[in-house]
Chains A and B, each alone.
Chain A
C-alpha cells in the first residue's frame, strides 16, 4: 500500500519557472526522502529531511516538512529541461523500509 500521496499528479511549466510538488503521508515517520526517476528507470536520491527538521536546501532544491500536517513539499527553482522526470517522496518509519507515493510527473517546456 502507498504511504504517501504526491500532488499534483502531473505538472507542466516553462523552463526557468519554479516547480512545487507536495507529498502527504499517513503515519509517523523517521525521515522523508525525495527521489527522481527518468523515463521509468532507476531512482536517484535527491534529498533527505529528518522528522525533527523543518526545511532543507540542496542546490536548486528546497524541501519542507510539516509533521503536524504530515506533509512535505519539494521546490525546484529556476527549472531546466533536464529536470523533466517523475518525482517521488518516500517515508522511512525507522524500520529501514521505504514506503512510496505514486509520484508527480514534471514536464519542463523549453
Chain B
C-alpha cells in the first residue's frame, strides 16, 4: 500500500481528443515521474517533476505535457491523441533528496484511444 493514487482508473477517448490524467503523490514526497507502459512492455519514462519544475524528459513529443502542484499532486496532459497512445499510464512519487531513488507507484490509468 503506497499511498499514491491515480484517476481515473480507465478512460476511453477518440483520436484527436485531449486527456488529463491525475496523480496524488505519497505524503512527504517531492518528486513525481510519469511512465507509459504499452501492453507486454516495460514502462517508458515520459518526464519527471521536482518541486513543480520539469526535471528530465524521455523521448516523447511536446503534446505530452505535465504539471506538478504545490501539494505535489501532478497532472499528465496529452493533446491530439493517437491510437498508439493507448497504454497504461503510471505515476510514481519519490523523495529526491535521498541517495537512492526508490519510487512508489500508483495503480495506473488505462487509456484506450479509438
**Interfacial residues, chain A to chain B (CB-CB below 8 A):** 1-2, 4, 30-31, 33, 35, 40-45, 48, 50, 88, 92, 95-103
Q: Could you say which residues of chain A place their CB within 8 Å of the CB of B50?
A: 96
Q: Could you say which residues of chain A place their CB within 8 Å of the CB of B44?
A: 100
A-B contact count (CB 8 A): 71
Q: Could you say which residues of chain A place their CB within 8 Å of the CB of B41?
A: 102-103
* Given A48-B102, A96-B94, A40 contacting B33 (CB threshold 8 A): no
Whether B59 and A43, one on each chain, are in contact in the complex, defined by CB atoms closer than 8 angstroms, is: no
Q: Could you say which residues of chain B place their CB within 8 Å of the CB of A33?
A: 101-102
- In the bound assembly, the distance between CA atoms of A77 and B1 in angstroms comes to 24
Q: How far is the CB of B102 from chain A (nearest CB, A)?
A: 5
Contact sample, A vs B, 14 pairs, CB 8 Å cutoff: A31-B100, A42-B4, A42-B90, A43-B43, A44-B2, A88-B43, A96-B31, A96-B48, A96-B55, A96-B96, A98-B101, A100-B45, A101-B42, A102-B41
* Given A96-B101, A101-B42, A102-B41, A43 contacting B90 (CB threshold 8 A): yes
Query: Closest chain A residue to B107 by CB distance?
Result: A42
Q: Could you say which residues of chain A place their CB within 8 Å of the CB of B45?
A: 97-100
